[in-house]
Amino acid sequence: MELGGGWQGELTDAPADSGANLSARVVPAGGPAAAGADPPWGYSVTALAELGHDGLDLPHSALVAEMVVLPGDRVAPVAALDPETEPAAAVHVADGVDPALLGSGITLAVLDRPWRLDPGTLALAVAESERPRSGIVVLTDQSAGWYRLPPGSPGTSPEDPILLVAAGGAGLDLRDLGELFGVVVVDGAGLRLDGTRVHGAVVVSEEVDLGLTGQVLWSSFLYRWATDRSVRRVRLVPGSRVEALYP
């Protein structure tokens, strides 16, 4: 981008450990020979465009589902707080949950209307998933019978959470994954969760099959991470500002 006076703006990929998308700086347009010149307005600077996160608009709930499917001998709580010091949360379902199977601090609320993912919200998720290190995985291949978590996906720890969105009309099979950290969203289909504990929240438009051991452990921290809309900022690189005084 030409700035005049023999100077131009330059955008490059930021270093992987900088926590930013782009590095922006002012450089001489005339090559190395112009390197000793001053910028036309009297200063030069290098800046980093910091990562921002556009979260999804999701219900404030540990679990949302049209129906929860449980075997008759289920004794483990369907949902609980993670950790137990978390503020209280609600489970919104239309059918299938006995209040006795909710952990302390979890209340049962009636899902009074079907939940569906807004098309604009889905488009935002797709766009955000294409950014490096976003933590968002979107599955939309309508030919799949049941989605599985792609190899190498995040979600293995609280420091590397996942916002997993399945929106192609196929169900999501997350059985036997052990611990999964993040928020799981399934639009237009169901979820299988036996053998997996989701630390975060689960929002599904149809049924959730928890089996004997599937569980949602509400984490307000991971919910906020998935739904927060933080601002992208540009910050100066320390020591990069150079000013020049003119006569």
Same-domain pairing of 134 and 209: yes
Write the DSSP symbol of residue 87: P
Higher pLDDT, 84 or 104: 104
Percentage of residues in the chain having pLDDT higher than 70: 71
Q: Considering the domain boundaries, does residue 86 fall inside one?
A: yes
What is the mean predicted confidence (pLDDT) over 148-160?
Answer: 93
Q: How many CB atoms lie within 10 A of CB 49?
A: 16
CA 151 to chain centre: 17
Per-residue pLDDT of 7-32, as tens digits, reads 677 767 766 666 555 666 666 665 54
Angle at 193 between CA 126 and CA 82, to 5 degrees: 85
Same-domain pairing of 76 and 184: yes
Residue 110: pLDDT band with limits 50, 70, 90: very high
Same-domain pairing of 108 and 12: no
Same-domain pairing of 87 and 101: yes
Q: Considering the domain boundaries, does residue 13 fall inside one?
A: yes
Q: Considering the domain boundaries, does residue 34 fall inside one?
A: yes
Torsion of CA 2, 6, 12, 14, to 10 degrees: -120
* Residue closest to 168 by CA, chosen among 151, 146, 192: 146
Q: How many domains, the chain? A: 2
Same-domain pairing of 122 and 22: no
Highest mean pLDDT among 36-50, 140-154, 208-222: 208-222
Same-domain pairing of 156 and 39: no
pLDDT of 243 > 80? The answer is no
Same-domain pairing of 134 and 172: yes
Same-domain pairing of 36 and 69: no
User: Is the alpha carbon torsion for 132, 133, 134, 139 positive or negative?
Assistant: positive
Q: Considering the domain boundaries, does residue 38 fall inside one?
A: yes
